[in-house]
Amino acid sequence: MVYWDEQGNTVEISKADQLWLDDGYFKTQQAHLPPDAPRAALSYRVSTKGQVDHNDIPMQKIKCRKFAQQQGWRVVMEKAEKGISGSKVSASKRDVIQELRQEAGNGSFDILLVYMFDRLGRIESETPFVLEWFVQHGIQMWSVHEGQQRIESHGDKLMNYIRFWQAAGESEKTSIRTRDRIRQIVSSGHFAGGFVPYGYRAVDKGRVNKRDQPVKDLEIDPEEAAWVREVFEKVANEGASGYAMARMLNDRGLCTRQGARFQSVNIRRMIRHEGYTGYLITKAARSEFIQELQIVDEKLFARANEVIDCRSKKLAQEKNIAAKTNNPTLLAGIVVCAHCGAKMSAFLHTDRYKLADGTIREKVQAKYNCYQRGQKLRACDG
């Protein structure tokens, strides 16, 4: 078994260390501790899916379990956050931090151990106070690499803040390095990973990354590319709407990359995606023209987008005009479905019911219906 270390290098886990991942083995080691041993909670976090896939959580678990055992602490709970950014996601929105706070308030553990303190977060204006909150509630804060963090003096508070200020800086540097690396990959005409646009497929062409692991590149999927070209041609030459194009693809039994039915918004994104003209494009970079990736020519792309632009301008003008409708229902044409966000269609429904004496009464009531659900355009459960 291998994992990535802090520098992104591949490191093999020894068989002796692998034993610490076995819950049965760990419980056996813990059984030798005295009943009154300090109670510890272990918390793990990785920021990206790549770290999850490359065993970063097991690495943290091994180090924390061994450290707790060496300190003579009884581990009473373990919490893991996978794919949670410590620099972008606030502690108030992280379930594990909130659960640990609740358990600490209930007196469920005495010590909180992390692999490194930046596992608590990397937001310099928030994370120092998260750590301080636990200390103020009687919890000892420990890191495998940095030892115990005390908050007993003004100097301790300053060092606590400096630690997370530095962690935030390292996070920013990592983001810059990542953007530069993506820019370099895309500028070289290679796929940098992520979402594969409709009309293409990711294939292994023998390219490897700096860790000597295979990475994929894009190539045109002939069948999907034919559908993409047809959508562009119908929008550009016939003025077809996104709704009509979505319905056409759905009627053919096609679906999006997520396996869902096509919506007009999917068509709009398709028309706006300049990559179909033969470029690899990200927020940070744009490649040179790549003939092998061109699905539509630039003239067809421009004509289709001109149609979309004209339609958008018309809608913007209509928004400045008071809505008029012959429908007596309140908020007709304005209210939207709370479940899927689509507009609700208003109609008058006649309810019929029988009285005790057999008389039939009718009552006309205004009701709303989710348009997307009624037309079976999306799986709305409203």
Residues in the chain: 382
Considering Cα of 254, then 255, then 256, then 259, what sign does the dihedral take? negative
Question: Number of helices and strands (H, E) in the chain?
Answer: 12, 11
Question: In the block, which residue shows the tokens 């209930």?
Answer: 106
Q: Which two tokens stand for residue 118?
A: 């930046």
Residues 6+ apart with CB under 8 A from 93: none
Measured CA distances, 217 to 50, 295, 297 (Å): 18, 16, 21
Q: Which two tokens stand for residue 14?
A: 């020894």
Q: Can you say whether residue 125 is alpha, beta or left, with left for phi > 0 and alpha for psi between -120 and 50 degrees?
A: alpha
Rounded Cα distance, 94 and 106, in Å:
19
- Structure confidence at residue 54 (pLDDT): 46
Residues of the chain with pLDDT under 70: 1-12, 48-56, 168, 171-180, 211, 284, 313-333, 376-378, 382
pTM of the model: 0.51
Q: Running DSSP on this structure, what letter comes out for residue 30?
A: H
Domains and CATH numbers, the chain: 2-175 (3.40.50.1390), 200-319 (3.90.1750.20), 323-382 (no CATH)
- Structure confidence at residue 141 (pLDDT): 94
- Structure confidence at residue 104 (pLDDT): 94
Are 42 and 78 contacting, i.e. CB atoms less than 8 angstroms apart?
Answer: yes
Q: Running DSSP on this structure, what letter comes out for residue 48?
A: S
- Structure confidence at residue 51 (pLDDT): 47
Q: Which two tokens stand for residue 177?
A: 């390095």
- Structure confidence at residue 85 (pLDDT): 81
